[in-house]
Amino acid sequence: MILVYLISILFVGGLVAWLSERVDPNYPRIVALATVLIDLVVMISLLGVDPSSGGWVASVNADWIPRFGISFYFAADGLSLLLILLTGFLGVIAVGSAWDDIHEKTGFFYFNLLWTLAGVIGVFTALDLFLFFFFWEVMLIPMYFIIAIWGHENKNYAAMKFFIFTQVTGMLMLVSIIMLGYLHFLQMGMFSFNYHDLMKVEASGTIEYLMMLGFFVAFTTKLPSVPFHSWLPDAHSQAPTAGSVILAGILLKTGAYGLIRFAVPLFPESSLDFSPIAMGLAAFSILYCAKVAFAQTDIKRLIAYTSVSHMGFVTLGVYAWNELALQGAVMTMLAHGLSAAALFMLAGGLQHRIHTRNMQHMGGFWGKVPKMAVVAIFFSVAALGMPGLGNFIGEFLALLGAFQSNILFTVIAAFGLILASVYSLWVIQQVFQGEYKADKFEDSHLLDLNRREMIYFGAMMIGLIWMGMYPQSFLNLSEPVLIELLNNTQAVTAAVVRN
Number of domains observed in the structure of the chain: 1
Which of 420, 268, 341 minimizes the C-alpha distance to 96?
341
Q: How many CB atoms lie within 10 A of CB 50?
A: 9
CB contact burial 227-243 (16+ within 10 A = b; e otherwise): ebbebbbbbbbbbbbbb
Structure pTM? 0.93
Euclidean distance between CA atoms 149 and 166, whole angstroms = 19
Which of 73, 74, 83, 300 minimizes the C-alpha distance to 192?
73
* pLDDT by position in tens, the chain (length 499): 889 999 999 999 999 999 999 988 889 999 999 999 999 999 998 887 765 444 788 889 998 988 888 999 999 988 999 999 999 999 999 999 998 888 889 999 999 999 999 999 999 999 999 999 999 998 899 999 999 999 888 899 999 999 999 999 999 999 999 999 999 999 988 999 999 999 888 887 889 999 999 999 999 999 888 888 889 989 988 899 999 999 989 999 999 999 999 999 999 999 999 999 999 999 999 999 988 988 888 889 999 999 899 999 999 999 999 999 999 999 999 999 999 999 999 998 888 888 888 888 888 888 888 899 999 999 999 988 889 999 999 999 999 999 998 999 999 999 988 888 888 888 888 888 878 876 666 666 788 888 999 999 999 999 999 999 999 999 999 998 999 889 888 765 555 444 4
β-pairing, 58-65 vs 70-76, is antiparallel
3-state helix, strand, coil in the chain (%, to 5): 80, 5, 20
Are 299 and 312 a contacting pair, CB within 8 Å? Answer: no
What range defines the domain where residue 343 resides? 2-498
